[in-house]
Amino acid sequence: MPDLQDKRILLGITGGVAAYKAAELTRLLVKAGAEVRVAMSAAAMQFVTPLTFQALSGKPVLTRLWDADVDSGMAHIEFTRGVDAVLIAPASADFIAKLVYGLADDLLSTLCLARACPLLVAPAMNRQMWENPATQRNIRQLRADGVAILGPAAGEQACGETGLGRMQEPAELLAGLSAYFQPKLLAGLRVLVSAGPTLEMIDPVRALTNISSGKMGYAVARAAQEAGAAVTLVSGATCLDAPLGVTRLSVTSAEDMAQAVDSVVGDMDIFISVAAVADYRPATRTAQKIKKSERTLTLDLLPNKDILQEVASCSDAAFCVGFAAETDNLLEYGEAKRQRKQLPLLVVNRAQDALGSDDNELLLLDDAGSHWLPRADKLTLARQLVAHIERLYSQKTRGNHAAPN
């Protein structure tokens, strides 16, 4: 993750079974290029030894308020200066309460109170502890104080119960930290993204579809969420997990997708149509499997509705962004499609290079002309695209609110 390169992160670890996951988190942070310093509470050292984190971070672990390697004797001041963020993972219910009330009775809690940088907290506790009204009040207060809360996740817990309270997995926390550093260009906006292929059933076991993986759409949904938007993702069948913080509506056919989009798009500020919706569907679907034979099989196909064009044609339409996959004449075919659908922005990619791949290059077409985004991984491209969308959306909004002559 290039956005974490050279970031200085203070990783705080409190007592709990999830402390073992902090070792993998430390490894991932270092691999991402971050400079990591670890501080542990006394309870944390009952679960994992400081030596583990010293080996993984390459730096001595902070455990005592009066650390000998700080000449001034002010460890709680020295170690948060110049730090880009403090991340507490895991954060126990007890430590969360300390943060709320400003208690500072050990090095880690004092570091948090004396910090001069953002604070992120990854809760980890038993389901009942998480659901307790006291914990929920504390979480609300932390959010009100500007502390970012990562998680918790739901699942099986060490106590044998199942529910909310698990610490997010290290890779999820890494993604959350990365997202935190992204500019909040879409803060306060509601964004709808469609992604993935549609399946148009021929019989119970066969379907018309395409080779879209959904990766670009999911990257756009993640980039919009990172930019501060409330994101809804309408997705065809993919093997991908929805980005954290994104609401996913799963669909199968083009008709399903059209209904799902129609049900929510009226509340949206921006609609980004990335899905590879099938252009046609079988005129009839048989209830039983069609048996193979030596005879030619002929299918009658009906055109599916153009979801994006129908949304864009509404008088009170959201700001609409389309995607087009072309094999040749990208500029000519793309601009013709943009004009036909009357879109402020159309994103064109080369189908043979984009579908199913992890990277891509994009051609952006708008009223100002064409703009190339050079080949990069799809999340990088999605972030660049979101920044471009924000500029166009802001221009439109300013124009709509301009005083009449």
What would the pLDDT profile of 172-214 be if each residue is shown by its tens digit?
999 899 989 989 999 999 999 999 999 999 999 889 888 888 9
Could you tell me whether strands 200-203 and 206-208 are parallel, antiparallel, or unpaired per DSSP bridges? antiparallel
Domain membership of residue 272 as a residue range: 190-285+299-400
Q: Is residue 363 part of a domain?
A: yes
Q: Please classify residue 43 by burial: count the beta carbons closer than 10 Å to its beta carbon, then call 0-12 exposed, 13-18 middle and 19+ buried.
A: middle
- Residue among 112, 159, 239, 320 flagged as catalytic: 159
What are the DSSP calls for 226-284, one per residue?
HTT-EEEEEE-S-SPPPPTT-EEEE--SHHHHHHHHHHHGGG-SEEEE--B--SEEES-
pTM, rounded to two decimals:
0.82
- Whether 118 and 205 share a structural domain: no
At 368, give phi and psi (nearest 5°).
-85, -10
Taking only the tens place, the pLDDT of each residue in 5-58 is 999 999 999 998 999 999 999 999 999 999 999 999 999 999 999 999 999 999
Among 180, 212, 246, the domain boundary falls at 180
Q: Residue 185: inside a domain, yes or no?
A: no
Check whether residue 265 and residue 165 sit in a common domain: no
What whole-number distance in Å separates Cα of residue 55 and Cα of residue 40?
A: 14
Is 236 in the same domain as 383?
yes
Q: How confident is the model at residue 66, as a pLDDT?
A: 66
CATH number of the domain within which 252 lies: 3.40.50.10300
Strands 153-156, 162-166: parallel, antiparallel or unpaired by DSSP?
Answer: antiparallel
CB 387 within 8 A of CB 185: yes
Whether 169 and 205 share a structural domain: no
Annotation says 159 is catalytic: yes
Check whether residue 165 and residue 227 sit in a common domain. Answer: no
pLDDT, one tens digit per residue, over 253-266 is: 999 999 999 999 99
Within this chain, do residues 92 and 219 fall inside the same structural domain, yes or no?
A: no
How many structural domains comprise the chain? 2
> Residue 401's pLDDT is what?
58
What are phi and psi for residue 193, nearest 5 degrees?
Answer: -125, 135
Residue 67, pLDDT above cutoff 60: no
Average pLDDT over residues 379-384: 94
C-alpha span between 301 and 284 (Å, rounded): 8
Q: Given the DSSP bridges, would you call strands 162-166 and 206-208 parallel, antiparallel or unpaired?
A: unpaired
Helix axes 133-144, 93-101, angle to 10 degrees: 50
